Amino acid sequence: MKTEDTRSDIMQAALDLIVEQGFHGAPVAEIAEKAGVAAGTIYRYFVSKDFLITELHRELEEKIVAVVQESYPSERPLRERFLYLIRELLRYFITNPLHFRYMEQYYNSPYGISLHRDRLLGKPGNQDILMDIFEQGIDQQVLKELPKAILFSLSFGSLISLMRDHILGFIVLDEALIKQTTEACWDAIKR
């Protein structure tokens, strides 16, 4: 497990353990052991366990946002852009299920409580992308005339639930299903 980058080792170990056992079930000592370092070493990289947890969330989010924004078809029609966003998110999480499960835990914990709305695509960048889509969609009378927050829930709420089920093995999201489900998300918000 011990690689060259101690900091990454620690974060990976924390990710694994927290996903598996929750924040409580991941004592610093165990994270350290899994990372192949001494407990004290963790404190050379993170001022506290809380900071490690927060940092882990921040970096994951960064990565996700970057992936989703990359090659975002900003010039294409609304529907296409919306489907792109949802599809890429699904793909990202299918590829990185631990990331999904970590984010879920984070938001449903005292840590994430202060984050409220900035969920998932909440980073200003994405938020804007998404809200732009909703705004334009309402303007163009393509989407239902509902508050944007509701449009968000209608589409992304489904996505999150789908991801959870996929990860838990209740369903297997292959490319065909991804296509169908993302379109179903669209159906929920389109006029």
Considering the complex, state which of residue 1 and residue 188 has its C-beta at the smaller distance from its own copies.
188
Integer CA distances (angstroms), 53 to 6, 35, 121, in order:
16, 15, 19
Distance CA 149, CA 153 (A): 6
Integer CA distances (angstroms), 146 to 38, 61, 142, 143, in order:
53, 27, 12, 8
Kindly tell me which residue out of 3, 8, 22, 38 binds DNA, with binding defined by CB under 7 A: 38
Distance CA 162, CA 59 (A): 23
User: If contact means CB under 5 to 8 A according to the sort of partner, which of its own copies, DNA, none does residue 56 touch?
Assistant: none
Q: Which of 63, 28, 54, 26 is nearest to 42 (CA)?
A: 28
Kindly tell me which residue out of 41, 105, 127, 136 binds its own copies, with binding defined by CB under 8 A: 105
Segment interacting with its own copies (CB under 8 A) among 1-9, 54-62, 82-90, 149-157: 149-157
Q: Residue 20's Cα: distance from chain center in Å?
A: 17
Q: Which of 134, 116, 189 is nearest to 158 (CA)?
A: 189
User: If contact means CB under 5 to 8 A according to the sort of partner, which of its own copies, DNA, none does residue 37 touch?
Assistant: DNA
Segment interacting with DNA (CB under 7 A) among 28-36, 83-91, 142-150, 166-174: 28-36
Kindly tell me which residue out of 1, 3, 25, 95 binds its own copies, with binding defined by CB under 8 A: 25
Residues near its own copies, by CB under 8 A: 21-25, 104-105, 108-110, 116-117, 144, 146-147, 149-150, 152-162, 164-165, 168, 170-171, 177, 180-181, 184-185, 187-190
Residues near DNA, by CB under 7 A: 6, 24-29, 36-41, 43-45, 47-50
